[in-house]
Structure 1
Amino acid sequence: MAKKVKVGIVGLGRLGRQHAENLASRVPNCELSAICSVVEDEISAFKEKWDVPFSYTNYDEMLRNKDLDAIFIASPSGFHCDQIIKALDAGFHVFSEKPLGLYLEEAEQVMAAVESHPDQVFMLGFMRRYDRSYADAKRKIVNGDIGEPILIRCYGLDPASQMDNFLAFAKANYSGGLFLDMSIHDLDLARWYMGSEAQEVWAIGGGYARQEFDEIKDAETGAAMVRFENNTMGIFVAGRNSAHGYHIETEIIGTKGSIRIGTVPERNQIVLFNENGAVKKCYDGFLERFEQAYLSETEEFIHCIMEGRQPEVTVRDGVESTRLGYACKQSFETRQLVKVREASLVKNG
């Protein structure tokens, strides 16, 4: 029987709990051996349900547990950089949720740390690459089914019902802003599908329904237009005020056709006909929409450890997506066209 990979996870919020339950019960050859959270109620509730051997409120203490093989990071974004580097230096394989950090300097620090530990597996949580529909779209593009891709259009809209929660999150300085927190997945997909890095970006937006976003210098709804180095184009729309629910939509237009993913964010195949017309239920949030993808990426992380290989998603993917996200943020804040490589030279702030 194959040896099980023993994992410790830090962060037991909404996404952290999903990852922890996958690690505890749904991933073959994996054992969730330790959990870590600064919220003791989260620890006690999870331990009671899953009987995890070790629990911690201090991350550094969990890293001293040499019974573990890997660390899974699902804490708030501002903690990722420090926690990744500490876990690598302690000798663990590491999976981290996006982003690598809130600032480009942090992402580059992580890349240097990962490159200095080549024998340890590092994986970043760009889960959409493991979603069946998005993965199939990539295969079709590589196969030439739409000719050469020339434009990608991405919508990333969060439910309006979650705006209060996000504002509390942002005011606690846990957020990198609309483009770094929300659009980062779309920016990564664009690089993946278009086969090029971004050259320049123009971004706009504001706090339209909730002026609190203007007060924290963020956008409730924003849009960015990107030119890539191979002269292909990207249009990105992100928002936190979607009345109908969680809506992720992607279109890739090529010289001989196009692909659309998620045009109608339907939860299932049911159509209800009543006095409101034909009604289809939409997804409530990202955990429901990408349930399969979160499980598949976790399975891939464990497989990489067992097989001694690195995943296709690299630390450089995280750095370049962060670079583009930061350029979008700078363009939004300055209301100017930003050269992506020049934006990376500006002191983050």
Structure 2
Amino acid sequence: MKKIKFGIVGLGRLGEKHAENLAFRIPNAELLAVCSVVKEEVDEVQEKWQIKYGYTNFDEMLKNLELDAIFISSPSEFHCEQIEKALAAGFHVFTEKPLGITVNEVKKVSEVVNKYNDKIFMVGFMRRYDKSYAYAKEKIEKGEIGKPVMIRCYGFDPAQAIQGFLKFAKNANSGGLFLDMSIHDLDLARWYLSSEATKVWAIGGSYGYPEISEIDDAETGVALAQFENGTMGVFAASRNCAHGYHIETEIIGTKGTLRIGTIPEKNLVTVFTPDGAKIECSSGFLERFEQAYLSEVEEFVKCIIENRKPNVTVEDGIKSTILGYACKKSFETGELVKIEY
């Protein structure tokens, strides 16, 4: 079967993992080109995996006519511009979340995506492809918990990663706590509740790391949202989780409840020592969602080969971004924000 030839931009922590998946783990995909503004990253990946082309300029990579698709894993502030350029150059496009960091730019990029409707476009909301999250969706659709009325989401990054975030945030615009971290939870809420948020109130602060407030962001925050169909969402996010990477989701229905990831287990091993029994926690998102990162791109490749659209659309990217931006606005102003799409 035909192999889809990829060029990837962005070789940071997540970008390098995506590049490795494309190069070695995804059937019918071939990583032909890598791009980063950091030349050392390009040189290292090219040499390590024998990648044919390396670039430090995104526009130059787009001139490579051997490529079929562009994978965008660069900092969030560059996503919309690179999406537009890649589609205009004739490529299929997969972009990491968020779609963008302002409402205006995501609405503009939506027009571009719809203009190039012959190309396959997909946003990386990988949790929809995690087996546990997909199983929960099946349970909801079968009516096993009745009508979903509330969703509660925890998205906590490990404290050990906070210095890496601070280094990144000083040089790039992440979009803030809710756009950067809660965007997956906001997308899941829309997916599970089958509705769009109408108003949101968010609070937060920087408690263990006051320097985060100096970049107009929060270390830990909570948002409360109401949806069009009367359902509710509670979203807690933090960059400072002492015990590790903790992603937890609860969907409460009229006849039952689903919980995903209540204990952030690294695996099924329990360690028994004289100090007691210990269940080790996941160290980060790459470990917890390893399967999901593979599955979402496998689906993207299949969509190109079979010439069909993925279930995750540009509209999902737009509406999740608008909701995330509303959380950011509420946090910054301290006011209840009504959402307009």
The answer (yes or no) to whether the contact 2:225–2:232 under 8 Å persists in 1 is yes
- Which residue identity is paired with 1:104? V
CA distance, structure 1, for counterparts of residue 28 and residue 271 of structure 2? 42
How many angstroms apart in 1 are the aligned matches of 2:2 and 2:209? 52
5 Å-filtered alignment, 1:65-214, equals 65-214=64-213
Q: In 2, distance between residues paired with 1:146 and 1:169?
A: 41
Give distance in 1, aligned partners of 2:225 and 2:279: 33
Counterparts of 1:293-312 in structure 2, within 5 Å, are 293-312=292-311
1:10 corresponding residue in structure 2: 9
1:292 alignment partner AA: Q
* Whole-angstrom distance in 1 between the partners of 2:302 and 2:133: 21
Deviations 1:102-145 (A, max 9, x none): 11111111111100011000000000000000001001100101
Amino acid at match of 2:300: F
- Which secondary structure state, in structure 2, belongs to the residue aligned with residue 187 of structure 1? helix
Deviation at 1:12, TM superposition (A): 0.7
CA distance in 2 between partners of 1:214 and 1:19 (Å): 31
Separation in structure 2 between the aligned mates of residue 331 and residue 57 of structure 1, nearest angstrom: 38
1:246-290 superposed Cα distances (whole Å, 9 cap, x missing partner):
000000000000100000000111111224321111011000000
Distance in structure 1 (CA, Å) of the matches to 2:32 and 2:24 = 12
Cα separation, 1, equivalents of 2:39 and 2:128: 33
User: 104-113 vs 123-132, which deviates more?
Assistant: 104-113
62-71 or 212-221, which moves further after superposition?
A: 212-221
Q: How many corresponding residue pairs? A: 341
1:30 is matched with: 29
- CA distance in 1 between counterparts of 2:20 and 2:272 reads 36
Q: Any conservation in 1 of the 2:243–2:281 contact (CA below 8 Å)?
A: yes
What's 1:245 paired with? 244
Q: Deviations over 1:214-247 (max 9, x none)?
A: 2222110000000001000000000011000000
1:325-340 aligned within 5 A: 325-340=324-339
Distance in 2 (CA, whole Å) between partners of 1:50 and 1:169 is 26
Secondary structure, counterpart of 2:265 in structure 1: coil
CA shift digits 1:21-66 (9 cap, x unpaired): 1111111111111111111111111111211111111100000011
User: In the alignment, what sits opposite 1:229?
Assistant: 228
| Partner SS for 1:269 | strand
In the alignment, what sits opposite 1:269?
Answer: 268
Compute the displacement of 1:174 (Å). Answer: 2.4
Length-normalised TM-score, structure 2: 0.99
Give the CA deviation at 1:340: 1.3
- The code of the aligned residue for 1:266 comes to E
Please list the CA deviations of residues 70-94 of structure 1 after superposition, one character each: whole Å capped at 9, or x if unmatched.
0000111111010000000001000
SS, match of residue 213 in structure 1: helix
Tell me what 1:322 maps to.
321
CA contact (8 A) 2:75 2:172 kept: no
Question: For structure 1, which segment, 98-107 or 246-255, has the greater mean C-alpha deviation from structure 2 after superposition?
Answer: 98-107
Unaligned runs of 5+ in 1: 345-349
- Matched with 1:347 is none
CA–CA distance in 2 between the matches of 1:185 and 1:142? 20
Q: Say yes or no: does 1:313 pair with 2:332.
A: no
- Secondary structure (helix, strand or coil) at the match of 2:233 reads strand
- SS of 1:306's equivalent? helix
Residue of structure 2 in register with 1:286 after alignment: 285
CA deviation profile, 1:156-189 (whole Å, cap 9, x unmatched): 0000111111112222232100000000000000
Tell me how large the CA RMSD over aligned residues is: 0.9
